[in-house]
Structures are given as C-alpha cells and as structure tokens.
Structure 1
Amino acid sequence: MTGKHTAEALVYSDATRLAELIREREVSPVEVVRAHLDRIEAVNPRINAIVTVAGPLEAAQAAEKALSSGEELGPLHGVPFTVKDSIDTAGVPTQRGSPIFRGRVPAVDAAGVARMRRAGAILLAKTNLPEFSYSTETDNLLTGRANNPWDLDRTPGGSSGGESAAIAAGMSPLGLGTDLAISVRGPAAHTGIVALKPTHGRIPMTGVWPRVPRRFWHMGPMARSVRDIALAYSVLAGPDGADGYATSPPNLDTGVGSAPGRRLRVGWLVEPGFGPVDPEVAATVRAAADALTLTGAVVEPVRIPALERDFALDVFYALHVMEMKPAFAEAAAGHEDEIFKIVKAMLKTPDTPYRDYVLAEQARERLKDGFAEYFRNHDALLTPVVPVPAHEHRAREFVVDGRPVPARFIQGATVPFNVTGLPGLSIRFGTSGDGLPIGVQLVSGRLAESTVLYLAAQLEAMSPVRDLRPSL
C-alpha cells in the first residue's frame, strides 16, 4: 500500500472509489476503516449520529489478507458501511432507539446486511434513529438526539437521520436506512446526500423492526454519490424467500451511465397535491427541471388529479395508525415509563373509525390508479423532497410560504410514494439562503429504478452545488 491518500481524502471518497483504491492496492481496508474510526472520534460527539461502533478492524484485517490470497472479491470489498439501528446486525447491538431494547444483540443479520457483507463490505457502526423508527426527528431516551452537520441546531431528519448525518459528515461512505413515509429521502435532503427508496418489495425487509405496516415499509441505500446508490442497490435487490413482498426478479439494470435510447418524458410538480412549499425549495425544483431539459428529456409542468383529490398524508395517517398501534403497544407493555413522547402520543391517538379506514383504503387505490395513468405518458416525476430546508429541533409547526402547517407536513411530498409503493430518489440540487442543502425528488413507475438513477446521475453532473462538505 502506498499511503499517499490522506485520511481526509479517504473519508470523503465515495464507496465506489474506495473499492477501486482497495482493489488497486493503493490503500488497505485497514487504512480505510481506521480513517473512518478517527473521523467518528473527532466529530461524532457533536453530531451523535453513531450509537455503536461494530469493532470493524478484525474484518478489515481479514479483508486485507483476502487481497493477497487471490480470493474472488466482492464489489464492495473492504469498504465500510453503517446501518440504522432498527436493522438487525449479528453480534452487534440493535436497540431500536429505545431503553426497552437496551443491549439487545441479534444472532442473525437482516437480509440487507447479509448481502452487503457478502459483497465484501465491512460493518462499521450502527446509527441513531427515533424510538421505533417513528418520527421525522432523530431523538430518543436511549441514545439521544442527532444533529445536522450543516447546523447543529437543526435536525438531520428522521427516521434515518443518524445515517444521513453520519454520511454527510464523512463518518461513513455508505449506509442502510428504512423508509415508512419519508425516512431515507427526507434525511438525505436535510443533510445533502443521496438516498433511494426503491419499489416496494425490491429489497427484503427481513430482520427489520417494526414489521408493520409492511406494505409501506421500504429499505434503501444512502450515500454521497448516485453511483454508490446504484452499486448498493444492485447488491441489495431481489427476493430472499422470507419476505412475502420481495418477489420481483433479482436481475435489474441500474441505468447509471447509459442513456435509455430515447427521449425521456419528465413532469415536474411543486403544488398542488403536496401541501405548501417554501419558495427556495420550489425554485430548486424548477432549476432541476431546467437542467433535465439539457439532457434531451422532454420536461413539462404537470398536475396529478389523484393527488389533488386525496391528500396522501391524510390517507397514510388513517391507515398506518391502526396497523402500528398494536405492535407498539405490545412492545411497550410493562415499560410505559420507558417510552419517548412520540410513541406515547401515537398510542394515545384515537383508532381510525372502520368506515374511515375503508374510505382511506379506497383513496389509496385511487392514488395508485392516478399514478398508473400518469406513468402511462411519462417516464419520471420531479418534485420537492421536503417543503422546507432542515428545520430547528423540536419544531411543532412550520410557516411555509406564509402558511402555518403542522410539522407532520414535512412528509407531504414523500408519503405518496410509500402509499403507492413507487420508487423515489432524493438528491441535492440547491442551497438555501442559510447555507443549508435543498434536495429534489425523482420518482418513476414501478420497478423502473433505472430511470430515476439515470436522471439523478445527470442532475449530479450538472449540479450547481460545489460545497458538499459541512464545516466541522
């Protein structure tokens, strides 16, 4: 190994580049892991994104020996990765952000973790989250609050907020998060990284808790580059024989770097249908739409009547409360004094009346039909990710473009694609007047992840953003 790459360069190299450097013997897995461990030691006390270090040096040493032995190497050989602390990791605590699960150590990896390890990646650490993964802000009674590396007084989002903050701050090049309504895409937008929520069922949720409502939960990769997302997705996707929703075929085209062979039709939408959107966020979506025209795509403003008829956030809340409350109540039984305020509030939420539940199910079907009609004539949809840049901690209300809205409206533009199961990707394409990242969301039809990955790679190449590293 030459040792010519500085620790700072290593912690801000993307996973694809790290894998190349390791294969070319320019750096060793041990060097890479140590650089990230040093970075965690230096900056995590201020951010609190990492909650458990997994003891990765032994695995790094084994990966180094494999380089010399001529073994067949996986595409992520020697590259560290982090995992949200609701995803099981064999032999490493998975505590779900709750004192109820303090010290819980799974015996078996979640399916996604096992696939990352088989690809040669090294588990570096577990990352912070809200209790039970249930909040748009990362805070809990066990491991505390995570901070945004761009501004410590602001949230990195939730529920995969620790994961997004760790990656943005150079503590990890690549991670696994989960997404119920916003939880990889929103944190990615708040911290300026990239995240993909693939089509529902593309990546098995085996070994992830909570399991309900399973029809809305997704696992997705988070990273600092689109090519890393594509690489991780290619490793993670495909059925595992245990998750009944994970039934789509494992063969897929990630689409990065190769044109689709025809002009893509892209619609862009800010309002109506998602709730109010901050003018800076709206301007960033329009700028991204303008950029996509330069790729040769046919780009046009659109409206989606189904979104205007049925507000997806209301549909989601009517459905998911009834499905999650029993699981949360079972976990909290006998531990009521150990649960955080968000779960307490959820358990006190009145049950959805049966008639309203049925009406919400019908609205969900209308939303699915509405998007099916939209994607009959378009290849992709460009939208905001969140209506405002990263907000201050513990916000209960936002004023968005002069309109006060409840804090739950942060999910207005992301939850439609959990309710319908469509793939969505978040990528930074702007900066607020306060210096905070602003992201945009790309959505495609079912199983068309290659489309959003291709378009995201084009936006990445044309991005006006040059300052990708927070000052810490």
Structure 2
Amino acid sequence: MSSFVSSDIVFQDATRLAELIRTRQISPVEVMQAHLERIEAIDPKVNAIVTVADDALKTARQAEAAVMAGETLGPLHGVPFTAKDSIDTAGVLTQRGSPIFRGRVPDTDATSVARLKKAGGILLAKTNLPEFSYWIESDNLLSGRSNNPWDLERTPGGSSGGEAAAIAAGMSPLGLGTDLAISVRGPAAQTGIVSLKATHGRVPMTGIFPRAPRRFWHVGPMARSIRDLALAFSLLAGPDGLDAYASSTANFDAGAGRSPHRPLRVGWLVEPGFGPIDPEVAATVKAAADALQSNGVDVAPVRIAALERDFALDVFNRLHVMEMKPAFAQVTAGHSEDALYKMAKTMRALPETSMKDYIDAEQAAERLRDGFAACFQEYDALLTPVLPIPAHRHGADTFVINGRTVDATFLQGATVPLNITGLPGLSMRFGTSKEGLPINVQLVGSWLAESTILHLASLLESVSAVRDLHPAL
C-alpha cells in the first residue's frame, strides 16, 4: 500500500498517475478505488456520472498484475478515464441521453475509446450529456441535470458537461467529449479544465452518435493539464479506415514547419465578430495576451473581416438545421412526445432552411475559411474568448452581455467558427470572475497545427495564477 491518500490521488493528472504506477509508487487498484470512492461521495451533488463500468476494478487488478510481472506498459497504463455517453463503449451502457436508447449496450468500442484502452487506460465510467448531445446544458429525461462543481446552481455546460464536471470535481483525470459547436471547449471553460478540439478529422468519429451528418463534429480529450491533452491527442489522432474524414496521418503536424529562427506570432481578438463579450472575459483574454508577450511571443490585436461580415453562429444554424433535421426525424420516428426532451422537440419543429439560404450559408462558410487562412499568413495562432460569460445559472435562455440582450445560443459565438472551418481550438483557464467562477481562453491554430497551440498553452499554464485550483465540494 502506498503512502498516498485518496485526496492526493484524485487530483493528480493522468500523466503523473501513469508515472506513479509505472514506478510502482502506487497501484492501479489504489487509483481506481480512489476514483470510485470519489464518485460515491461527490456525484450525488454533481450528477456527472451516468454509468460506472462494472469491470473497472477487475481491469485495474489485471493492470496491477502486469506491473508486478514487469510487462511492457502503455503510456496510460492503469489510469482511469471516462467518456461522454454518446461514445460507444463495449459492454457498457451508451444511451445517448434519451429514453429511445434506454438499455443500449454496444458490442464494440468507439475508435477513440479503443485507442485509450490500447495505451493502457481503463474505462471508469460514462458521463452525462444533453439529449442526443444537443444543447448548452447537460440535462435529459434519463439521468437528469448535471451541476457545476464550482457552484451547484450553475451549469457545467453542454454537451460534454458531465465529462467536464467529473474531471473538475476529481472523479476522473481524463475523458473524452464531443464537439459540434461548443461542446468540448465550452464545458471546459465553465468548469475550469482544459480541452482540445483538434482539426476536423484528426480524431475519428467512428462509434460516436450521430454517425451522420458529421462534417462539423469532433471528438477530443478533456483533462486538467496541457500535458495530458498533448498525450491523449498523440494517442487519439490518425485514420482508422472507417471514418472518411479522418485522413491525416497521425504524425503529420503543420505547426512543425514553422521557422525556429523567429518568435511565434499570436493575434488576439475579442470583439467584433463573436457577438458581445463580458468585460471580465475580455480582460482575461488581454491578460493572457500580455502573458504570452512577456514570454517572448510576438502578440498583437487583430480583426478578421470575414467574422464581422458573416456571423458564424448564423451561418452554422442555417447549414446544420438543413442537414440534421432529417436525421432527428429519422431517429425519433414512431416515438411519442413523452420520449422526447427539449432539443428533439425543438429540432423537429424548426422550419427547414430554404435552398437559397443554404447556398448563401455555404458561401459564407467559404469566406470564413478564407478569412482565417489569410490571418494565418501573418500569425501562427489566435487568442480569443471561449465563452462570452462565465458559467450561468441553470435554465437561463437569455443573457445581458455588455449591455446587449442575446439568446442562449450566443454562448457559441466564439467556438462555432472553428467547427465551420475545421480549425483546432484549445480551451484553458486563465482567470476567475468576481463570483469565483473559472474563465477560460481559447487558442486557435491553423489547420493541422495542434502542436503550436499546445505549446502556447503550456506557456500560459506555466505562468497561470489559477493552476491547480479545485472546487470545494
């Protein structure tokens, strides 16, 4: 038995846990037991966990035996991880937040889950989400509403809100979420953890709902340290031969081609282009820009004309409603209204986008891609807000932000451009609101240049005044 107590274990990052296990300072069984106990103690308040994997402790014992036998160990050997409940897990319930899929148990793992397992990770549990992964709060008819561990009266966001809450509260060191418009980066911002939405197609979506249409969907790692994001991304990236979007080779990185003989150049922007931004959030972005400047990065304010011409959220709505409305109709066909929650009913009732509006939106999406491409001719990365406000109270459907009243979808204003364009984006905490809530910033890279934003994030992490803060539950 090691000298570590449970509270020490559950707030170690995955990289450190793997090191402790590999050097026999702690056993996989102790690590798993500590997280199971944490779930039992904390989850009744947070409601982040949907299902605990029945074989988690058994698999931890097998991992411990492998350590003791001197076997070759993977980089995550013995480390627990969790996955959003839209991601298939063999032999473990995957119910997608809907009574329509109540009791569904997949036969195979999603590619992302299989890759973490191959690296030695152990599936601990599945985490809560909105119905079908659609909304900015994690609430559904099957498992109810998740709460933010920083303030239980507030949301941990959506759609990967349960995953974010579990990691922030020490119930999991590492997890998988999905991102259509906000859903990995927004919940990370609302709970003060880190997350990465890589370039579209870098990580296969195989085994994740919905299968189609998926041109804006991503799956990505969520964690408490930048090095964990980098490690997880290195394990997750690369084609699997099943997802046609996943065609980039695992080891290709456009960021590696930058000249080492000049400083990195980062452009920062808050408004206009993303909708209104709260002054506290804007100040946090500026503070992060100043921190990068102090660490040898060339930083300058920028504007992207395409964002100001074509509001990305409006573009996305016109495109995605046209594409997803038939899929919702197909999935929910034959089921009564009693089986449907807010977003399924909303999606079924939305008017279809006209062909003219759809074509106009496609042209706007092209302008957005070109606008970012032009910006990346001068800058290696961008620094922006993630969300316009810190975590909001449950059930809010309008907000007053910087003197302007907007509906709840505006939370996606700074995140959805990266789904339309496919650009990589990283969410990390760099500030705290006057109410004690986390404020994250977003680092945006050029296509396939994840190494650049991971490097910049590590610089910010090293000087951050809010690193290693945990909610008091």
TM over 0.5: yes
**Which one-letter code corresponds to 1:311 in the other structure?**
F
Helix, strand or coil: the match of 1:377?
coil
Assess if the C-alpha contact under 8 Å between 1:255 and 1:453 holds in 2. Answer: no
State the 1:325 CA deviation.
Answer: 1.1
Q: How far did residue 252 of structure 1 move?
A: 4.6
Report percent identity of matched pairs.
70
Shift of 1:336: 2.9
Which residue number corresponds to residue 171 of structure 1?
Answer: 171
Distance 1:253 1:168 in 2: 30
Equivalent residue for 2:114?
114
Deviation at 1:259, TM superposition (A): 11
SS class of match (1:87): coil
Taking the aligned partners of 1:122 and 1:464, their CA distance within structure 2 comes to 32
The CA deviation string for residues 324-375 of structure 1, in whole angstroms up to 9 with x for no partner, is: 1111111111113201012201110000000000000000001001111110
Letter of the 2:37 counterpart: D
Structure 2 match to 1:6? 5
**Cα deviation, residue 450, structure 1:** 0.2
Query: CA offsets, 1:172-220, max 9 Å, x none?
Result: 0000000000000000000000000000000000000012331100000
Amino acid corresponding to residue 272 of structure 1 in structure 2? P
Q: Does the C-alpha gap of structure 1 residues 436 and 144 become closer, same or farther in structure 2, counting only changes over 3 Å?
A: same
Match of 1:376 in 2: 377
Q: How does 1:4-403 map to 2 (within 5 A)?
A: 4-55=3-54, 56-252=56-252, 262-337=262-337, 338-403=339-404
SS at match of 2:124: strand
Q: Contact conserved, 2:157 with 2:391, CA < 8 A, in 1?
A: yes
TM-score scaled to structure 1, two decimals? 0.98
Q: Deviations over 1:285-316 (max 9, x none)?
A: 00000000012111000000010010000000
Query: Which residue does the alignment assign to 1:456?
Result: 457
Distance 1:370 1:255, change over 3 A: closer
Q: In 2, Cα distance between the equivalents of 1:252 and 1:50?
A: 35
1:63-113 per-residue CA deviation (whole Å, 9 max, x = no partner) reads 011112222111000000000000000000000000100010000000000
Give ranges in structure 1 of 5+ residues lacking alignment: none
- Separation in 1, partners of 2:196, 2:467: 22
Offset, 1:262 = 3.1
For residues 321 and 336 of structure 2, the distance between their equivalents in structure 1, rounded to whole angstroms, comes to 18
Are the aligned partners of 2:255 and 2:448 in contact in 1 as well (CA < 8 Å)?
A: no
Q: 1:85·1:128 contact (CA, 8 Å) conserved in 2?
A: yes
Distance 2:436 2:468 in 1: 10
Which runs of 4 or more aligned residues in structure 1 lie more than 2 Å from their structure 2 counterparts after TM superposition? 252-256, 258-262
Change beyond 3 A, Cα 1:259–1:112:
farther
Cα distance in 2 between the residues matched to 1:418 and 1:466: 28
Provide the secondary structure at the position in 2 that maps to 1:376: coil
- Structure 2's unaligned 5+ residue stretches are none
Structure 2 counterpart of 1:347, one-letter code: R
- The AA in structure 2 aligned to 1:234 is S
Tell me if the contact between 2:254 and 2:448 (Cα under 8 Å) persists in the aligned partners: no
- Counterparts of 1:277 and 1:301, CA distance in 2: 16
> Structure 1: how far apart are the matches of 2:217 and 2:277?
25
How far residue 261 of structure 1 moved from its aligned partner, in angstroms, is: 5.3
Aligned-residue CA RMSD in angstroms?
1.4
8 Å contact 1:192–1:437 — kept in the other structure?
yes
Q: 2:68 aligns to what SS in structure 1?
A: helix
For residues 431 and 282 of structure 2, the distance between their equivalents in structure 1, rounded to whole angstroms, comes to 10
2:95/2:101 contact within 8 Å kept: yes
Matched to 1:326, the amino acid is: P
